[in-house]
Amino acid sequence: MIKSLEELKQIRDKYKDVLQNREAEENKIRILVGMATCGIAAGARDTINAIVEEVRNQNLDNAIVVQTGCMGFCYAEPTVEVRFPGQSPILYGKIDAEKGREIVRRHVKGGEVIREWVLRG
């Protein structure tokens, strides 16, 4: 239990860097890969590993790769969602490792949505 204003300020200062990092990450492109059991069974581990590797190879320090749970499209696993700050997310389906690399090169780096792989909800 916090007992004084001074103690509260110390806690705030202790976590200040973490909070600033969160704000910085909110301005980055987020690449979410569905890693629920349905995604893993369909090969999502290979997909996320390929995406992480391609982000690194392309030196994209403005993008982060995040594993997430089921996105509700189990029939289309592995699924990958690309979120640019301030834009609607784009959800791709049936993304294997090679398609994952191509999403990084064309969409994340080049800004081109690959329409033939986009899932419609």
pLDDT of 46 over the 90 cut: yes
Higher pLDDT, 23 or 56: 56
Sole residue written with tokens 């369909």 = 42
Query: Would you say residue 67 has pLDDT above 80?
Result: yes
Which residue's entry shows tokens 């590993």? 49
- For residue 29 the two structure tokens come to 């492109």
- Could you read off the pLDDT of 87-102 as tens digits, one per residue? 999 999 999 999 999 9
* Mean pLDDT value across residues 64-79: 94
- What span, in angstroms and rounded, lies between the C-alpha atoms of 16 and 8? 12
Q: Which CATH class is domain 28-117?
A: alpha beta
